[in-house]
Amino acid sequence: MSTFARAATIDVMDNIGVFLPTGQDQWAAHDPRDLIGFARRSEELGFSSLFVNDSLLSPRIEPLTMLAAIAPVTERIRLGTGALLPVLRRPVLAAQTLASVDQLSGGRLTVTVGAGFPGRFGRPLHELSQVPWERRFARLDETVALWRALWSGAKEFHGEFHSFAELPPATRPFHEQGPPVWLGGGTPAALARIGRHYDGWLPYPPDPADYATGLDTVRSAARGAGRSPEAVTPALFVNVRIDRSAEDARRVMDAYTRANYGLPLAGTEQIQAFAVGTPDEVAAKLARYTSAGARHLVARLGALELSDQREQLERLAALTLPSSP
């Protein structure tokens, strides 16, 4: 059990979640079924959500399989993808799978989607999936629209990339409206699309000021589309490492980013959001994002091994949650 106390510089958070360490390197020295215990402990501690990553470029437990495994052994905690890559799956089958996970969880699913990035984290996924890289954002939006059509019981669907004169009877989600669908991204085009079409925003901007500016753009786009700005959940994907010294925290997080991205921490900090250091330092950085408007933080814990992931989980709970057991 961690002895790290909650920092005085941070308010208790109602919505803070964590990523499950589903990458094979993190659980290889253990039984992968230990991830189920990690999920249950996250719920016991009071975290509000558990998210999973998606990729074909590194060995990991497939995300929807992981969520299906933990759905029946948890009761309250929300289950999410961050981000699911629809390009890896045929859209009708993906809609059925997502609805099934939502049913098994009793309506606790949140689906964050992404379209990939240029370079080695984007094009190779499209090549492996035999889907064109061009117009990937339009394809993503249409895929989500197809999911929603299936979930609502539509009989047909006609789009630029997918057209069905007759749709099969589909597995319905737990709630009639289906699971909320979030999107990441920070480009002007992505922010406008989020405001118009999506239920939440899960970016990882390294500067909290950019988060505030992006959220203003999302809300403006929502108003322009006739939606309430509050219809879009403002979330944040943030990498977290808590240690007794900033030096120790940065050393371990540097090893983590090199293992995951082949980049040092100093380089990855230019791309993604990080809160790394002592409890007070981490709390201060998280508070800057909540002050910028973030209302649901999802922390990816900077630890290369499952036992260290568990320790970081306890430390984050002690830092941010009101009364973690």
**What's the rounded mean pLDDT across residues 209-236?**
98
Q: What is the CATH number of domain 16-320?
A: 3.20.20.30
Residues 76-107: tens digit of each pLDDT: 999 999 999 998 899 999 999 999 999 999 99
pLDDT in the model for residue 56 = 84
CA distances from 160 to 67, 84, 146, 248 (A): 31, 22, 11, 51
Average predicted confidence (pLDDT) for the chain: 93
pLDDT in the model for residue 324 = 58
Residues 8-53: tens digit of each pLDDT: 445 545 699 999 999 998 998 899 999 999 999 999 999 999 999 9
Q: In one letter, which amino acid is 116?
A: G
CA dist 30 and 138 (Å) reads: 41
**Kind of pairing between the strands at 157-158 and 163-164:** antiparallel
Q: Where are the domains of the chain?
A: 16-320
CA dist 273 and 212 (Å) reads: 13
pLDDT in the model for residue 9 = 45
User: Out of 31-45, 113-127, 265-279, which region has the weakest mean confidence (pLDDT)?
Assistant: 113-127
